[in-house]
Amino acid sequence: MWSTRGQFNTRDAESVLPTGQYVYGMPCVSMEYIVLVRVWRPYCDRDTHKWLHGLGGNKECYFNLSIGVYYISWLSSVCFPTIVLVIVLMLDKWLEAKIKKLTAANEKAKWWYYRSRVRRACMVILVIMYAPLTAVILQSFACSNTVPGDFVMDHSQDVFLYDQSQTCDDFIFQTVHFISTIYLALAVIVGPGLLIFQTLHLRKWDLLNKNMALHGYAYESYTRRFCFWEAVPMLRKLIYIAVTDIFPFTPLIQISVHLGLTAVYIILVVVGRPYRKCTWKSTRNIRVIEIHNGFEVLANLSISLLQVGHCSRC
């Protein structure tokens, strides 16, 4: 288990708890990202790993994601975080109303604690679901009008790249595409941008500590200088998925982009050290310096080895 000390001193709770009092245990090892180390490659020609350039080969073997499986993946990836967000928003409003009715300081502190835990749990779920949500959304744009003609078997209509028996002009697919466009704008692109804006705004006005209970879920794992860091792995996943799923780049290009981003990310972590210092809860008097930054570097070195392994087969 991990612990850090944070300030629980919001506008509504500053009379309840003194500044700097330890009020909750925060996991320093956060669930940062689900890193994609996969490469979009042929399925039938596994021995030679030939890449299709319209010069032969069975194209059906290269795009074998059925539309039914895609719809199931799309529904689960889109609906689950949406339902979680709606439930959490309703619960947060209920907790806010309950805290306003309380008068006892101890009771207010207890319910503020519950509210911060609910928000943090929601943030963890949304960060975990960002990768699958982004993947299914970007895949909905992989139609024959956005990819090279050599990868399309039926040129008479606009077809879905991964199941070319499915036309992109179908009503259900158009509905999926429309909803995906909304989620792409609001959740995939604007979401990380708002996260960066919110944290930098709080830092500018020196409100990071004062608003820890309300907004600490977005920056409590990071130092003041890198309070926006939660959005960096999200944008990194967006680039990974865009290179892998939306356009049929060759495996070599995909792996080159993946390795390049991993190398840049490791350098940023080593030089900037964005994560807050943590201590073992059982040995609180012994400070383990930069342990989370070290784990982050180690994890990304392992990921780079997997990416190099893919590259050796490109």
Q: Output the pLDDT for position 53.
A: 40
pTM: 0.78
CA atoms within 13 A on the CB side of 260: 9
Do residues 303 and 37 lie in contact, with contact meaning Cβ atoms separated by under 8 Å?
A: yes
Is the Cβ–Cβ distance between 55 and 29 less than 8 Å? no
Is the distance from CB of 67 to CB of 166 less than 8 angstroms? yes
Other CB atoms within 10 A of residue 166 CB: 20
The DSSP letter of residue 51 is P
**pLDDT value for 176:** 95
User: In which residue ranges of the chain is pLDDT below 70?
Assistant: 1-65, 148-151, 248, 279-289, 310-314
- Report the side by side order of strands in the sheet with 287-288: 2-3, 278-280, 287-288
**Which residue type does 233 have?**
P
DSSP state for residue 170 in the 8-state scheme: S
For position 282, what pLDDT does the model report?
Answer: 61
pLDDT of residue 150: 66
Please list the residues that pair with 278 across neighbouring strands.
288
3-state secondary structure of 292: helix
Separation of alpha carbons 63 and 245, rounded Å: 11
Task: Please provide the average confidence, as pLDDT, over all residues in the chain.
Answer: 78
